[in-house]
């Protein structure tokens, strides 16, 4: 996903791109920002997109800098932002030493999406590097477990709707084969974009490699309609999720 991909989405970003802070059913993201923040601390929101995540965390900090490599998205973010403790800045997080003043808390929500392992590692390392010693970093990444579970839930819905289980399973398996680009690398086609999905211990391992300690990985839950068209209001299954990983910088 190069910068042109994100530039093209900028005009209708909120309609076309899933903004985690807008669909977090239990308010886990704001609770995490509140727990880690206070009005003497600074934060950076890495890969801020149209700024929804930046605006969600800003009330808990003295100052938040939103960083993205898409100038078009930064323009949208600036237009939508009225808080006076937020600024935006352009930077490519795959470049070494992007030169930020260090922050107390770094946020990086759904940015480690590239199918390329080296790109993900560079971005994660730069984010952790930008945190001052004693600070914290928070990452949100897609979950491969959630993605695989959603195929089972789709099958359960179809059988409840009266479809024969073996026929429904065949169709669901065919869809999974189309979507999964690489199971061993956790890369899934999301609307035409090959998108990295992480196992729970895999994201903890990456962040440990990048210098975080005391990492706790938990779930941010979303409504079923993000993965299933026509999902009924009441579903007898736990909702889909991303991983939220919080770690300390020693």
Ligand X SMILES: C[S@@+](CC[C@H](N)C(=O)[O-])C[C@H]1O[C@@H](n2cnc3c(N)ncnc32)[C@H](O)[C@@H]1O
Please give the residue ranges that form the binding site for ligand X (CB under 6 A).
Answer: 6, 17, 19-20, 47-49, 52-53, 68-70, 73, 92-94, 109-111, 123
Least distance from ligand X to the Cβ atom of residue 55, Å: 10
Which residue lies nearer to ligand X by CB, 60 or 153? 60
| DSSP 8-state code for residue 64 | E
Strands (E), the chain: 42-46, 63-68, 86-90, 103-109, 131-142, 180-182, 187-190, 193-196, 212-221, 241-249
Which residue lies nearer to ligand X by CB, 54 or 172? 54
Residues 6+ apart with CB under 8 A from 174: none
Which residue lies nearer to ligand X by CB, 106 or 215? 106
What is the C-alpha radius of gyration for the chain, rounded to an integer number of angstroms?
19
Q: How far apart are the first and last CA of the chain?
A: 32
Least distance from ligand X to the Cβ atom of residue 142, Å: 10
Which residue lies nearer to ligand X by CB, 19 or 145? 19
| DSSP 8-state code for residue 240 | P
Least distance from ligand X to the Cβ atom of residue 138, Å: 11
Least distance from ligand X to the Cβ atom of residue 94, Å: 4
């Amino acid at each position: 996903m190069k910068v042109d991909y994100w530039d093209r989405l900028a005009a209708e970003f909120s309609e076309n791109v899933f903004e985690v802070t807008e669909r977090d059913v239990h308010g886990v993201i704001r609770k995490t920002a509140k727990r880690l923040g206070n009005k003497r601390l600074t934060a950076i929101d890495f890969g801020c997109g149209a700024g929804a995540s930046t605006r969600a965390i800003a009330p808990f900090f003295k100052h938040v800098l939103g960083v993205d490599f898409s100038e078009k998205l930064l323009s949208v973010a600036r237009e939508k932002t009225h808080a006076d403790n937020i600024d935006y800045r352009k930077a490519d997080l795959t470049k070494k030493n992007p030169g930020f003043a260090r922050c107390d808390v770094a946020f990086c929500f759904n940015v480690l999406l590239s199918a390329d392992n080296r790109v993900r590692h560079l971005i994660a390392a730069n984010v952790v590097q930008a945190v001052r010693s004693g600070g914290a970093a928070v990452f949100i990444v897609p979950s491969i477990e959630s993605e695989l579970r959603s195929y089972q839930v789709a099958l359960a819905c179809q059988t409840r709707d009266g479809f024969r289980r073996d026929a429904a399973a065949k169709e669901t398996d065919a869809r999974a084969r189309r979507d999964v680009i690489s199971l061993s690398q956790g890369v899934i086609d999301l609307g035409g974009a090959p998108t990295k999905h992480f196992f729970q211990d895999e994201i903890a391992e990456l962040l440990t490699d990048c210098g975080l300690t005391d990492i706790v990985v938990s779930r941010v839950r979303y409504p079923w309609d993000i993965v299933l068209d026509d999902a009924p209001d009441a579903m007898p299954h736990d909702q889909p999720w991303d991983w939220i990983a919080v770690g300390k910088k020693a």
